[in-house]
Amino acid sequence: MHRFPKFSRTTAITVCATLLLLCAACSGGTSDAKASETATEMRTKMLAATHFTLTANIRADYGERVYDYTVSFDGAPDDGTITILKPEEVSGVTARLDKGSATLLWDGAAVDTGAIAENISPVAMVTTLIDEWRNGYIESHALAETDSGATLAIRTKLAEGVIETSVFNAETFLPISAEISVGGRVALSATFFDATIT
């Protein structure tokens, strides 16, 4: 099993973003207005984008089991290819996103990574996030200054008890990290280390 460091700068950013979002509903004024404007700009960019190239380290926490993956996505929002890069046992296995749906069409043997919640799995996490960035109702948002620059955090609701939180560079709107929690527990977390959105 490949394990990432227990704590990293990106983890810290995600944790801080989560805390900021918890307080977002209590804040107001210029700061909240700026965060709302920035979130709207992010949504506009995502809706206008026609091509996503994203690579992420993903950790899936099933409670008693923890698995790590590295996954890349390349293509249009609703018609792209997912490639598993790690673990080595399934490296190179690809799947296409069935255009117009969230179904993965595997090239060869399917890889069953186990669903975290209905229609949400580690391998499909990136496509789930892209859909939320484009179409999900943004329940809260927050801006923060970090050593790496300004960040925007948003939170959307995937289903009852299933919450998605993503952190972006507030200027380029490229994703930095994301997590999906189920019943208040972080089940999936992602750290993006290569991202292009055009």
Residue 119 CB partners (closer than 8 Å, separation 6+): 102, 128
CA 180 to chain centre: 8
Which amino acid type is present at position 194?
D
CA–CA separation, 159 and 55 (whole Å): 25
The pLDDT of residue 148 is: 82
Decide if 81 is inside a domain.
yes
State mean pLDDT over 91-114: 63
> Is residue 106 classed as helix, strand or coil in its secondary structure?
strand
pTM above 0.85, yes or no: no
Asked whether residue 2 is domain-assigned, the answer is: no
- The CATH number covering residue 30 comes to 2.50.20
Supply the range of the domain harboring residue 19. 9-197
Is 128 part of any domain? Answer: yes
pLDDT at 165 over 90: yes
Q: What is the mean pLDDT of the chain?
A: 82
Does 117 map to a domain? yes
Write the pLDDT tens digit of every residue in 120-163. Answer: 888 889 999 999 999 999 999 999 998 889 999 999 999 999 99
* Residue 4 domain-assigned (yes or no): no
How confident is the model over 11-22, as pLDDT tens digits?
Answer: 454 544 554 554
Q: Is the pLDDT of residue 24 over 80?
A: no
CA gap 49, 32 in Å, rounded: 26
Band (pLDDT 50/70/90 cuts) for residue 86 is confident
1 domain-assigned: no
**124/35: higher pLDDT:** 35
Q: Is residue 89 part of a domain?
A: yes
**Domain count across the chain:** 1
Read off the pLDDT band of 31 (50, 70, 90). Answer: confident
* Residue 111 maps to a domain: yes
